[in-house]
A and B are shown apart, each in its own frame.
Chain A
Amino acid sequence: MNPYIALLLMVLLNTLGQLLVKRGAVRIESRLGRVQLIRSMINWPLALGGLSVIAGPLLYMYALTKVELSVGYSFSGLTYLMVILGGHILLKERITLYHVIGTLSILAGLTVWNL
């Protein structure tokens, strides 16, 4: 497997894990008292969160067999970015100018880092 694909997969898993934990937390809060709903909702975020915790580092270590550490670590910025953007798309939060400029800066940073 191409190490960059492994890194992108790791980013995807980590993003999904973090987003689902965020979303799961939000849902559980708003339905306190309805025990059955909480039980059914605990599976989703825990499953993907657990997967990202277990598979994420594995993908990372695999990628590090072929790329430099500094190259691998730069992808963590991508995780942060996707969690923010994903949160905005899924949870319909608003985006400000700072978000846009910050995103461009992060992407520029990633590109420049890996040139």
Chain B
Amino acid sequence: MKSKEVKSEAQGPSERPDKRPYKKNTVAILLLLSYLCLTAGQVSAKLAGMVLSSKQVISGIPSPQLALAFAFGTYFFFLLRGLLWVFLLRKLKLVLAYPLMSIGYILVLAVSFLFFKEPLTVGKMAGALLLMTGVSLVSYGEVQQKKADEKSNEKGSEKGSLL
């Protein structure tokens, strides 16, 4: 028991931040789950589309019920992903959040190629890179603008705080 007490004392207050109720692991897990929901939702949506355009997806199960099942799946995963992102946006730095979300382009591209055998063209790969770069740049611009706004707000409120 003594060694445990010594350890916790040695850690000090800086090791136990009260401001961050989420550990880093939680964010990583939420992020991974959001990617899973993204791919599951997209696959579900495409499967629903395939069934609706009367392609045989699973033989033996009638089309309308199958389409409905996939539609429900789509809604479920879309909403779940939305929920996960509500939490993630609170805990991730803004400059990271949207670029991380844009990794979805690679994931969905891979899934569309592996699962649905859609041709993987150079255009799609180049497009994915350009999209990810663009999202990262715009995110950085957002952060820049926020910092500039904060600075101008500080200057404005300094006069008021003298009272």
Binding site for B on A (CB under 8 A): 53, 56-58, 60-66, 68-70, 72-74, 76-77, 80-81, 84, 93-99, 101-115
Query: With A65-B50, A65-B52 in contact, do A109 and B45 touch (Cβ < 8 Å)?
Result: no
Q: B130 at interface (Cβ–Cβ under 8 A)?
A: yes
Within 8 A of A (CB), among B128-163: 128-142, 144-145, 148-149
Residue of B nearest to A56 (CB): B78
Cβ B129 vs Cβ A64 within 8 A: no
Question: A76 to chain B: which residues have CB within 8 Å?
Answer: 104
Question: A106 to chain B: which residues have CB within 8 Å?
Answer: 130-131, 134-135, 138
Q: How far is the CA of A70 from the CA of B124 in the complex (A)?
A: 8
- Nearest CB in chain B: distance from A31 CB, A: 19
Cβ A61 vs Cβ B52 within 8 A: yes
Q: B71 at interface (Cβ–Cβ under 8 A)?
A: yes
Q: How far is the CA of A15 from the CA of B125 in the complex (A)?
A: 25
Question: B75 to chain A: which residues have CB within 8 Å?
Answer: 57
Cβ B135 vs Cβ A80 within 8 A: yes
Question: A84 to chain B: which residues have CB within 8 Å?
Answer: 138, 142
Q: How far is the CA of A108 from the CA of B148 in the complex (A)?
A: 28
Question: A112 to chain B: which residues have CB within 8 Å?
Answer: 123, 126-127, 130
Cβ B45 vs Cβ A98 within 8 A: no
Cβ B127 vs Cβ A64 within 8 A: no
Selected from B82, B102, B113, B134, the residue in CB contact (under 8 A) with A103 is B134
Most buried by A among B43, B71, B98, B145: B145
Other A-B pairs beyond A73-B42, A97-B141, A113-B123, 20, CB < 8 Å: A61-B52, A64-B45, A64-B49, A68-B118, A70-B112, A73-B108, A76-B104, A77-B131, A81-B134, A81-B138, A98-B140, A102-B140, A102-B141, A106-B135, A109-B129, A110-B131, A112-B123, A112-B130, A114-B123, A114-B127
Question: A70 to chain B: which residues have CB within 8 Å?
Answer: 108-109, 112-113, 118, 124
* Count of chain A to chain B residue pairs whose CB atoms are closer than 8 Å in the complex: 148
- Nearest CB in chain B: distance from A50 CB, A: 12
Cβ A109 vs Cβ B131 within 8 A: yes
Q: How far is the CA of A73 from the CA of B111 in the complex (A)?
A: 11
Cβ B112 vs Cβ A69 within 8 A: yes
Cβ B138 vs Cβ A69 within 8 A: no
Question: A63 to chain B: which residues have CB within 8 Å?
Answer: 49
Residue of A nearest to B126 (CB): A112
